[in-house]
Amino acid sequence: MKHLNEEERLAFLEGRAAKETSDHINQCVSCAAEMEAWRRSIQRLKQFNWPARMDRPATFHSPVIKWALAASVVLCIGFGLGRFTGPNTTQIEAAIKADVTRDFQRQLATTLREQRKSELDPKTVLALLNDLREQQNANYVSLRKDLETLASTADARLQSNTRQIRELAASTQAFSDPTH
């Protein structure tokens, strides 16, 4: 015969047991004795004189929590200042475009110098210019993707840090609240 587990016994004591559990206790001497022992223990615990609750001082704060809170505030201020004082995406795109244009001009000048040494063919120059333009566009797209990834990662980290600071502040407040 399978005996009851602790969850079933507790459900029986609380009056929320299934009919099968009640039937088992009525038939099984071992489980019935166990239930009676649990009832006696509960009665003893109810009669026990427990000491009065001691309130902890409300001003007690761990130095670690204070330092963690201070560090998180400084970190948030640093992230906020960096985010709002740094260059925006328009400025970064303009700087990247200027760099790519300078590189394109250098490559074109180098290619033209090499072409002047040899015979200049307009079709070849046009093909080279098209190749350079395609490379410039590919570089621009790649840099834009990298920039967007960087911006979204920075934003996600900022949101995560803000959430962690709020959680830390809430736990610090709950820790220092004497009613809890």
115 touches 124 (CB < 8 A) = yes
Print pLDDT tens along the chain (180 aa): 688 888 888 888 888 888 898 899 899 999 999 889 989 988 888 888 877 777 766 555 677 788 888 888 888 888 877 777 777 778 888 888 888 899 989 998 888 887 666 666 778 878 888 999 999 999 999 989 988 888 888 888 889 899 888 888 888 777 766 565
Residue 96 CA to residue 103 CA, distance in Å, equals 11
